[in-house]
């Protein structure tokens, strides 16, 4: 009788270990899949930028320095590649800094465009601007979803008894997207 109790107890532990491990793998894969969605949204923005720049270039008196800044920021932002399995807060911060530079360059471009009514009326430009705005919304949505998936995953690897399996099999915390430094301060707007 004692033998059956030990076999039953061992069976329960083995089943718990398999289901716990599989649950952790599923949670990690959800985070990785959501990271791919974030990268896709950023890639969409990067793909739209050359078309936007070419459309704007058609206006001869347009400030070339602004266009150069956008192209350089895009190049830097697309050169940073992260692996979803090894997302550290430092890597994510570097990635986000490059994406922030690109966002800033795009903002300067859009502000400069305000001085060119013919360009603002151009249908190609309007369509690209609309797509870019939609893409920025997608980026924010995907980042929020990533943070939610990372939160659920991080919680699952820290709670007992799964934390035993997480430590045993090397499941590590995932970094979050955080606001950039100074994001809590409203920007000064000046129409000088």
Spelled out in words, what is the top-level CATH class assigned to the domain 2-169?
A: mainly alpha
Give dist(CA 158, CA 170) in Å, integer. Answer: 12
pLDDT at 189: 45
pLDDT digits (tens, 9 = 90+) for 115-174: 777 776 677 778 888 888 899 999 999 999 999 999 999 999 999 999 999 999 999 999
Residue among 112, 104, 105, 103 nearest 143 (CA): 103
Q: What are phi and psi of 29, to 5 degrees?
A: -65, -35
Q: Where are the domains of the chain?
A: 2-169
């Amino acid at each position: 009788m004692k033998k059956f109790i030990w076999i039953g107890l061992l069976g329960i532990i083995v089943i718990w270990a398999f289901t716990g491990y599989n649950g952790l793998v599923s949670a990690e894969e959800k985070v990785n899949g959501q990271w791919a969605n974030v990268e896709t949204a950023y890639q969409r923005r990067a793909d739209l930028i050359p078309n936007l720049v070419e459309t704007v270039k058609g206006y001869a008196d347009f400030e070339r320095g602004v266009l150069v800044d956008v192209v350089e920021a895009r190049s830097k932002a697309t050169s940073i590649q992260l692996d979803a399995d090894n997302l550290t807060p430092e890597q994510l911060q570097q990635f986000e800094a490059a994406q922030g530079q690109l966002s800033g360059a795009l903002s300067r471009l859009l502000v400069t465009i305000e001085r060119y009514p013919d360009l603002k009326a151009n249908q190609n430009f309007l369509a690209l601007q609309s797509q870019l705005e939609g893409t920025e919304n997608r980026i924010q949505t995907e980042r929020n979803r990533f943070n939610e998936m990372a939160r659920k995953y991080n919680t699952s690897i820290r709670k007992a008894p799964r934390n035993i399996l997480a430590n045993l099999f090397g499941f590590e915390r995932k970094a979050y997207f955080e606001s950039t430094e100074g994001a809590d301060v409203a920007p000064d707007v000046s129409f000088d």
